[in-house]
C-alpha cells in the first residue's frame, strides 16, 4: 500500500497525532534506558560508555545488577557486609536529549507508516521511558528550514511539551527561510546537549559527510550517543519486477506505482524501471553506501546504531 501525505492529514499512517504520542506512555514504561548494553540494529550491542557523568555524590544504595563495579562504595560495603553502589546526582536526573528529523524526505513510505511518523513514535517512546526513569527530557526537532531546541526539564509536562512540538510542526513560508543541513543541526546539538547527556538522533541521515562525522565525534566525547536509522523497505531494496514513479511535491515525497495517478504541474517525477539493472544497482548502492557510512562511524566512535524500518514495531526495536 502506498501513501501520500496530502491525501488525508488525519491518517495516522502519514501524520502522528498528539493523542497517539501520548498513548505511548504505557508501553514505554517497559523500556530500559539505563542498562549498559542493549540490542541494537540487527545484531551487535550497545557498546558506548556513559561519558561525562556528574560527580556530585548523592547517596549509597544497595548494588543492583548492571551497576558499574567502579562505582561500588567499598567503605559502606565493608561496614554493612552488603555491596553498595555510589549514586551521583547526574545519574539520578540524567538529561535525555532527543533529536528528531522532520525534513521532507522523512515524509515518505511505501509500506507501514511514513518515516516521519515512525520517528515521532520512537521519540515519544524514548521520552516517556526517560520520564518513567526520572530523567530530564529535552529535544530538537528540525526540518530543512527550521530547527528548534527544547531545554531538558523534569516531569510529564516536559514530555508533553516535547510531543506537542513534534506533532505541530509549522514549516510555512519556506521560501523566506534559510536552508538547514544535517551539519548545521549537529552543530546546534553540540551546543544544547550538556555533557553527560544521553543523546538520541532519529533520522534517515541524508546528508552525512565528513563534517557531520566530526560533529558526532565531538559530541560523543562528552555524551552517550545513539543513532536511530529510519528507512523505508523500498529504499533498501526494490522488487525484482515493476516500474515506480517517485513524486516530489513542494519538497514532500510520496511514491506511487506508475499508472495509478497523474502528475500535475507542481509535481516532479523520477521513474525507476527495475528492468534497468544499471539504474537499479545505482539506486540500491546509494542506500547501501549511506548505511555503511553510518555503520563505520558508529564502530569508530563506539556509538549504538539501531536500524528501524517503516514496517517495524518501534517498541520491539527499542527493546
Find the mean pLDDT for residues 103-129. 92
What is the model's pLDDT at position 204? 94
Mean pLDDT on 203-213: 94
Q: What is the arithmetic mean of pLDDT over 215-238?
A: 90
Given this model, what pLDDT does residue 67 score? 76
Model pLDDT, residue 245: 64
DSSP code string of the chain: ----GGG-TT-TTT---HHHHHTTHHHHTT--SSSS--B-TTS-B------S----EEEEEE--TT--GGGB-HHHHHHHSS-EEEEEHHHHT-EEEEEEE--GGGS--SSSS-HHHHHHHHHHHHHHHHHHTT-EEEEEEE-SS-EEEEEEE-HHHHHHHHHHHHHT-----GGGS----HHHHHHHHHHHS-TT-EEEEEE--TT--HHHHHHHHHHHHHSEEEEEEEE-HHHH---SS-EEEEEEETTEEEEEETTSS---TT-EEEEEETT-HHHHHHHHHHHHHHHHHHHHHHHHHT-EEEEEETTS-HHHHH-
* Segment 254-279 mean pLDDT: 51
Q: Domains along the chain?
A: 5-49+94-318 (3.40.50.410), 64-90 (no CATH)
Q: 255: which strand partners?
A: 246
Weakest mean pLDDT among 239-243, 262-266, 305-309: 262-266
Mean pLDDT across the stretch 30-53?
47
Residue 170 is predicted with a pLDDT of: 62
Q: Is the pLDDT of residue 172 over 60?
A: no
Stretch 42-66: mean pLDDT: 56
Strand pairing class (268-273; 252-257): unpaired
Q: How far is CA 49 from CA 57, 127, 129, 189, in A?
A: 20, 20, 19, 19
For the cut 90, the answer to whether the pLDDT of residue 260 exceeds it is no
pLDDT at 128 exceeding the cut of 70: yes
Residue 2 has pLDDT above 70, yes or no: no
**What pLDDT, on a 0 to 100 scale, did the predictor assign at position 281?**
76
Confidence (pLDDT) at 20: 93
- Under the banding of pLDDT at 50, 70 and 90, the label for residue 38 is very low
Residue 21 has pLDDT above 60, yes or no: yes
At 86-98, the pLDDT tens digits run: 876 554 568 999 9
pLDDT of amino acid 178: 75
Please report, rounded to a whole number, the percentage of residues in the chain having pLDDT higher than 90. Answer: 46
Residues 6+ apart with CB under 8 A from 237: 284
Amino acid at each position: 500500500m502506498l501513501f501520500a501525505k496530502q491525501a488525508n492529514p488525519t491518517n495516522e499512517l502519514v501524520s502522528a497525532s498528539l493523542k497517539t504520542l501520548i498513548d505511548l506512555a504505557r508501553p514505554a514504561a517497559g523500556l530500559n534506558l539505563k542498562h549498559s548494553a542493549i540490542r541494537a540494529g540487527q545484531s551487535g550491542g550497545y557498546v558506548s560508555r556513559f561519558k561525562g557523568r556528574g560527580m556530585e555524590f548523592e547517596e549509597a544504595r544497595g548494588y543492583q545488577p548492571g551497576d558499574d563495579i567502579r562505582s561500588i562504595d567499598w567503605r559502606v560495603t565493608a561496614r554493612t557486609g552488603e555491596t553498595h553502589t555510589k549514586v551521583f546526582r547526574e545519574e539520578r536526573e540524567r538529561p535525555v536529549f532527543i533529536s528528531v528529523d522532520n525534513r521532507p524526505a522523512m515524509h515518505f513510505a511505501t509500506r507501514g507508516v511514513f518515516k516521519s511518523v515512525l520517528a515521532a513514535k520512537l521519540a515519544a517512546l524514548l521520552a516517556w521511558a526517560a520520564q518513567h526513569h526520572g530523567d530530564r527530557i529535552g529535544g530538537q526537532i528540525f526540518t530543512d528550514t527550521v530547527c528548534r531546541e527544547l531545554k531538558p526539564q523534569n516531569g510529564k509536562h516536559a514530555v508533553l511539551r516535547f510531543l506537542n512540538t513534534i506533532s505541530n510542526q509549522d514549516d510555512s513560508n519556506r521560501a523566506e527561510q534559510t536552508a538547514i543541513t544535517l551539519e548545521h543541526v549537529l552543530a546546534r546539538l553540540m551546543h544544547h546537549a550538556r555533557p553527560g547527556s544521553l543523546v538520541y538522533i532519529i533520522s534517515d541521515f541524508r546528508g552525512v559527510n565528513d563534517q557531520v562525522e566530526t560533529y558526532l565525534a565531538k559530541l560523543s566525547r562528552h555524551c552517550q550517543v545513539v543513532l536511530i536509522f529510519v528507512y523505508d523497505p523500498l529504499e533498501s531494496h526494490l522488487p525484482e519486477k515493476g516500474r515506480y514513479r517517485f513524486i516530489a511535491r513542494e519538497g514532500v515525497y510520496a511514491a506511487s506505482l506508475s499508472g495509478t495517478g497523474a502528475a500535475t504541474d507542481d509535481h516532479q517525477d523520477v521513474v525507476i524501471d527495475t528492468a534497468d539493472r544499471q539504474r537499479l544497482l545505482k539506486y540500491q548502492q546509494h542506500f547501501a553506501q549511506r548505511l555503511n557510512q553510518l555503520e563505520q562511524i558508529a564502530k569508530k566512535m563506539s556509538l549504538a546504531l539501531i536500524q528501524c524500518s517503516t514496517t517495524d514495531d518501534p517498541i520491539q526495536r527499542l527493546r
